[in-house]
Amino acid sequence: MTDPLSLLHAPLGVPGSGRVRYGAAMAMYRDGHLTEPQLEVYREASAHDGRDPAPILAERGLPPVPQVAASTPIRTLYDAARDYLLSLAHPGAADVRLGLPTDPGTETAPTPLPNPVVEAWLDPALAALSATHPLLALSIRRAKPHLHWVTYDAYPRALIGDAFPTGHAFAALRGEDAPFAAQDFELGLFLIAPGTLYRDHHHPAPELYAPLTGPHDWRFSPGTALHPKPAHDPVWNPPHRPHLTRTGTIPFLAFYVWTQDVNLPAEVIPADDWPALEAAAHA
C-alpha cells in the first residue's frame, strides 16, 4: 500500500480493520514514521476491530498519529491494485506494468452507479479476501460506493445464457471512461455471483485475470474438462484464447487488465456441454 496513513485510520468496528490498522502501522514503522512503542499499541489493538488505539497512545504518553488528509478512496484502491498486480508473475507482466504508472494522472470522479450484484455479493467476496489480504479488501470496500458499476450487455442472451447477464458486474479504475484516463488499456474490478457459468468466449484484447477469491473452475478450450484454480493464481489470456469460468460457492472477485484492443468485442464460442456444466454448478 502506498497510503498507509489513511489505512491507519480505518473505521472502527469493520471486520478485519484491527489487522488493517496494524499492517499500516508496520509499514509506517518500517519507513521511520512510527516508534516501536507506538507500533506495539497497534499490535495490541489489532485483535479487536472496535478498539481505538488513540486513547491507548494517550494513556501511555505517546504522541498521536497525525490526522493528515489521505488519498481519495479510488486513488487508494488504484495504488493497492497496482502493488498487488505488479507482484504477480505471468507472461503479460511487462505489458501490465507499462499501463500502471506510479502516478496515474488526474482523477475524474465517476458517477457512482449501484448494482444489485455488487450489493448482494461484494461483501461475501471481501470477507474471504480479508482473511489473507485485509488491506486490499478494505481498499475495495472503501471505494465501492464511489465506483460506476456496470453489467456487460453486449453478448447475445441466446448464446451467453440467462445466469451471466444478471450475475456479474465490473467497475473500471483506469481506462478510456475510467477515473484515471488511459488510451487502449483498462484496469478494473470484476465480480460474478456464486454458481455462475461464464461460458466459453474469446476476444482480441490480451487479458489478465487476477482472482482475489477462489477456488473457481476454468478451461481454455471448449469441450474440455474444467480445472479448479485458487485465489491469487493469475490467468493470462493471449488474444483470442478461449476461456470459460465457473464460479464456486464464494463469489468470484478479480482485478482484470486489458492491455490493448479494449474496444473490440468479445464473442461466445458455442459448446455442447454448457447445460451439464450449469447443472453441476447448482448441484
Q: What tens digit of pLDDT does each residue of 117-169 get?
A: 999 999 999 999 988 887 788 889 989 999 999 998 889 999 999 999 999 99
- Domains, the chain, with CATH or none: 4-59 (no CATH), 73-281 (2.60.120.10)
SS3 content of the chain, % helix, strand, coil (to 5): 35, 20, 45
Position 211 confidence tier, pLDDT thresholds 50, 70, 90: very high
Q: Extract long-range pairs of 150-155: CB within 8 Å, 24+ residues apart.
A: 150/113, 150/115, 151/115, 151/117, 154/265, 154/266, 155/201, 155/266, 155/268
Contact 209, 237 (CB under 8 A): yes
- In this structure, the dihedral spanned by the alpha carbons of residues 139, 115, 132 and 47, taken in order and rounded to 10 degrees, is 70
pTM: predicted TM-score of the whole model, two decimal places = 0.81
Which SS3 state, helix, strand or coil, does residue 265 take? coil
Contact predicate 11/26, CB 8 Å: no
The pLDDT of 100-122, averaged and rounded, is 93
Percentage of residues in the chain having pLDDT higher than 70: 97
Give the helix/strand (H/E) hosting 254: strand 252-258
Q: Sheet containing 252-258: give its strands across.
A: 180-181, 168-175, 186-192, 252-258, 207-211, 235-237
pLDDT at 34: 85
SS3 113: strand
Span of 1-15, 25-39, 73-87, 151-165 with lowest mean pLDDT: 1-15
